[in-house]
Amino acid sequence: MRRTITINPVTRIEGHAHITLHLDDDGSVADARFHLTQFRGFEKFCEGRPFPEMPALTARTCGICPVSHLVASSKACDELLSVTIPDTAATLRRIMNLAQLVQSHALSFFHLSSPDLLLGFDSDPTDRNIFGVLKIDPELGRDGIRLRQIGQSIIELVGGKKIHPGWIVPGGVAEPLSQDKREQIRGMLPEGLEIARRTWKRFRGLASKYADEAAHFGNFPTMFLSLVTATGGLEHYDGRLRIKDAQGNILEDDVPGDEYERIIGEAVEPDSFMKSPYYRPSGYPSGIYRVGPLARLNNCDACGTPEADEALLRFREMGRGRPVSSSFHYHEARLVEILYGIERIGQLIDDPEILSTQVRARARGNRHEGIGVAEAPRGTLIHHYKTDEQDRMLWMNLIIATGHNGLAINRAVRQVASQFVRGDALEEGMLNRVEAVVRCFDPCLSCASHAVGQMPLRVQLIAADGRILDEQVRPKA
């Protein structure tokens, strides 16, 4: 008798989704699916609006990574204006983008994933939260909060607001940086770097405790997509697209963002509002690839900052000459990128032109198609716009970082479920592992930053005739 287990909602991720596990007669996992159940509709309701509104409108896609949408959208609008933005504006945008990378990665590691990593996947779920972490490691809790504060403070200093700053605009940025703010940013970086260093060192020790999870948490060969610099370095703001295969061979390189449609196709699954992009030459679904920190570190030749490059070398030891394949190592990749982000902000803030007041190029619409590509914390983000003669939006396509990972998330859930789930005995630890593999990707499923209160986890074991054979609800009443 074929049965289905539903995990709804998945906890400790941004947004709302559920997982279904389909079991065979013998209780083995036959299939697993990750469903995004929200519908947003940005592509439709932006139609008809003036394109300069797009950065502010599309930033509302997300309350965690609005800066990523501001960056990608403004880059698409720069193309519609047909302008090259001032160098200082690009540098300031980079600083804000990296500050967001730092705060978002800190959120994922410290707040969402550290309970699993420090307390264990089989620990009591009533303790497996931030308070449980604080009991055994209060310094980690303080570090997480402080690192987030540093990232958000930098965003606020350059952009005026922590969330949804309207400072990145088509043609550049709205205001130059003041000397006072520059010094404030400089002053925060040493503490941020010390926290990043300390956390990276501590986590490298933890990862060895979870060899079984590392072996089965989305550990399979895929391609990897990311931006890299002209010299192959780690890149988050500009650059060209690169795709590597699981053996480390470069399949695509130096691809301008404008040509993304040549290499990326988009499929739609019937049971999810998340699109499933794939590498077009390999077809669907064979063209599965991953994006985000794991992909960026696998694809780049170097980070370009001293401590991050040292950490990258250690990270790559896990791949033994090939790209690191386990999605479990997204966690460590995030910590390496936090190191990089803080070091790189330090380099950029010292740019002698950083206080220049020439930060915006002004023009009317000069083209009717624009594409902006940037690296969001979770991966490559693409905004593609078409406008009419009155500069109103005719058409929009957004490919969100989490969407790129859609096929890989499904496969990772299936792998973990096959390894840890036995349908005749629903145990907390095995279900948590199914959720935890999703957290490795740090999916950002909405702009919902208003959670949470009590967010229950309901798991049902349902017979083919609809009868509920077993049910677990978390937290227990």
Question: Cβ 128 to other proteins, closest distance in Å?
Answer: 9
DSSP 110: I
Q: What DSSP string describes 166-217?
A: --EETTEESSPPPHHHHHHHHHHHHHHHHHHHHHHHHHHHHHGGGHHHHHHS
**CB nearer other proteins, residue 112 or residue 373:** 112
Residue number with CB closer to other proteins (28 or 126): 126
Q: Which residue has the tokens 């192959």?
A: 232
Nearer to other proteins, 322 or 474 (CB): 474
Q: Which residues of 275-297 are buried (b: 16+ CB within 10 A; e: fewer)?
A: bbbbbeebeeeebbbbbbbbbbb
Nearer to other proteins among residue 107 and residue 400 (C-beta): 107
* In the complex, least distance from residue 71 CB atom to other proteins, rounded to whole angstroms: 20
Q: Which is nearer to other proteins, 13 or 234 (CB)?
A: 13
Q: What's the rounded Cα separation, in Å, for the pair 93 and 101?
A: 12
We find the least distance from the C-beta atom of residue 215 to other proteins, in angstroms, to be 27
Between CA 403 and CA 19 the distance in angstroms is: 16
Nearest CB to other proteins, comparing residues 415 and 432? 432
List of residues contacting other proteins (CB under 8 A): 11-14, 63-64, 107, 111-112, 115, 126, 129-131, 134-135, 138, 141-142, 144-146, 148-149, 152, 163, 449-455, 457, 474-475
Q: Which is nearer to other proteins, 376 or 457 (CB)?
A: 457
Tell the smallest beta-carbon distance from residue 40 to other proteins (Å). Answer: 15
Q: How far is the CB of 10 from other proteins (least distance, A)?
A: 11
Q: Tokens standing for 119?
A: 């307390």
Closest contact distance (angstroms) between CB of 451 and other proteins is 5
Q: Helix, strand, coil: what percent of the chain each, to 5?
A: 45, 20, 35
Q: How far apart are CB 152 and other proteins at their closest, in Å?
A: 7
Contact 55, 74 (CB under 8 A): yes
Q: Which of 252, 258, 240 is nearest to 372 (CA)?
A: 258
**DSSP bridge partners of 35:** 18
